[in-house]
């Protein structure tokens, strides 16, 4: 059965952990979907992982729609949430609702995610009022990397921790159905989780959150440009791919691939007439 905002509300109410991974293409989404995961995020991390940018700033609406629609085609049961890219919702509330609508209509999302706390509460309210589920994202918000001055843990001193709590309450009040907490000390994330009636989804925020999300290429060991402390490698798919590609190159050079079983036959009488 297709997972939805109800899955998130039920997970929080029953104390059952919610599971999320990112995906950016049809085949990966189909594979992840088959595990019974609750939701797949088409994160703007696709800028780093798929497109090779050093940050998420250059990711466009067209990128998100193109990859989002591919994931939506592969996700039969998981809720699909598509990230709103940088400057698709910060410019005006009108832009926010129009672009959220495009991710739903053209990207076939089941919900959208956007970064920020009190400052985006107005945009969240309008998008939610349009019938679009919104997942919020606070703590380390990579689209603001130039203001943060680097990928750092957030909410460490009293003022910053109080601001994080204020942001969490503001996005809940605005109607977000869940909130991602990124790079937040575990005790603070647990406190935020206890204060909210909507679920918290942690990434680098410890085990006290209502659910977890990771970038799939990180947890598969496929992306090595930068691996944050919170990433656990659940597999070494990168090594397996390198080994497979090396073996392919060698076999093609040696002529052992393709073998008889990989080729198509033709009647000898037909081929002889062509000589
Ligand atoms: O873009 C992304 O992948 C994200 C997750 C890291 C939460 O926002």
What is the CATH classification number for the domain harbouring 112? 3.20.20.60
pLDDT of amino acid 226: 86
Per the CB < 8 A criterion, the answer to whether 263 and 255 are in contact is no
Ligand 1 centroid to Cα of residue 180, in Å, is 9
- Residue 210 belongs to some domain of the structure: yes
- Residue 255 belongs to some domain of the structure: no
Tokens of 204: 């680098």
| Residues whose CB is less than 8 angstroms from the CB of residue 29 and which lie 6 or more positions away in sequence, other chains included | 23, 40, 70, 71, 72, 73, 74, 75, 78, 80
Q: Is 138 helix (H, G, I), strand (E, B) or coil?
A: strand
Question: The domain containing residue 79 runs over which residues?
Answer: 5-239
- Residue 271 belongs to some domain of the structure: no
Per the CB < 8 A criterion, the answer to whether 206 and 189 are in contact is yes
- Residue 248 belongs to some domain of the structure: no
Q: Is 120 helix (H, G, I), strand (E, B) or coil?
A: helix
The string of DSSP codes covering 157-187 is: SHHHHHHHHHHHHHHHHHT-SEEEEES--HH
Tokens of 240: 């397996």
Instruction: Report how far Cα 261 is from the mean position of its chain's Cα atoms.
Output: 40
Q: Give this prediction's pTM.
A: 0.97
Q: What's the length of the chain?
A: 275
How do the pLDDT tens digits run along the chain, 275 residues long? 999 999 999 999 999 999 999 999 999 999 999 999 999 999 999 999 999 999 999 999 999 999 999 999 999 999 999 999 999 999 999 999 999 999 999 999 999 999 999 999 999 999 999 999 999 999 999 999 999 988 999 999 999 999 999 999 999 999 999 999 999 999 999 999 999 999 999 999 999 999 999 999 999 999 988 889 999 999 999 999 999 999 999 999 999 999 999 999 999 999 999 99
- Residue 215 belongs to some domain of the structure: yes
Rounded-to-integer distance, Cα 24 and Cα 71, Å: 6
Give the 3-state secondary structure percentages of the chain, helix then strand then coil, rounded to 5: 45, 15, 40
Tokens of 225: 């440009």
pLDDT of amino acid 224: 86
The domain tally of the chain equals: 1
- Asked if residue 203 has its Cβ within 6 Å of ligand 1, the reply is yes
- Asked if residue 180 has its Cβ within 6 Å of ligand 1, the reply is yes
- Residue 262 belongs to some domain of the structure: no
Rounded-to-integer distance, Cα 232 and Cα 221, Å: 9
pLDDT of amino acid 59: 98
- Residue 145 belongs to some domain of the structure: yes
- Asked if residue 44 has its Cβ within 6 Å of ligand 1, the reply is yes
- Asked if residue 61 has its Cβ within 6 Å of ligand 1, the reply is no
Ligand 1 centroid to Cα of residue 22, in Å, is 7
- Residue 158 belongs to some domain of the structure: yes
Q: Is 182 a catalytic residue?
A: yes
Which of 106, 182, 194, 250 is labelled catalytic?
Answer: 182
């Amino acid at each position: 059965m297709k997972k939805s905002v109800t899955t998130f509300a039920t997970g929080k109410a029953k104390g059952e952990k919610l599971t999320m991974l990112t995906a950016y293409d049809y085949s990966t989404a189909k594979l992840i979907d088959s595990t019974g995961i609750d939701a797949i995020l088409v994160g703007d991390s696709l800028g780093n992982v798929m497109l090779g940018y050093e940050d998420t700033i250059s990711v466009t609406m067209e990128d998100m729609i193109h990859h989002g629609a591919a994931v939506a085609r592969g996700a039969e049961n998981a809720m699909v949430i598509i990230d709103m890219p940088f400057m698709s919702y910060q410019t005006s509330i009108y832009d926010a609702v129009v672009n959220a609508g495009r991710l739903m209509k053209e990207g076939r999302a089941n919900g959208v995610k956007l970064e920020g706390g009190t400052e985006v509460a107005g945009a969240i309210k309008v998008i939610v009022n349009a019938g679009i589920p919104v997942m919020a994202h606070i703590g380390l918000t990579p689209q603001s990397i130039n203001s943060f001055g680097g990928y750092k843990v957030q909410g460490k001193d009293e003022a910053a921790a109080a601001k994080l709590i204020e942001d969490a309450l503001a996005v809940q009040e605005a109607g977000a159905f869940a909130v991602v907490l990124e790079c937040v000390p575990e005790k603070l994330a647990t406190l935020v989780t206890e204060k909210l009636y909507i679920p918290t989804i942690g990434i680098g925020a410890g085990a006290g959150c209502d659910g977890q999300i990771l970038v799939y290429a990180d947890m598969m060991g496929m992306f090595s440009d930068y691996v944050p402390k919170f990433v656990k490698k659940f597999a070494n798919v990168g090594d397996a791919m390198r080994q497979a590609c090396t073996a392919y190159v060698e076999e093609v050079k040696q002529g052992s691939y393709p073998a008889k079983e990989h080729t198509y036959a033709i009647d000898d009488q037909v081929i002889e007439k062509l000589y």
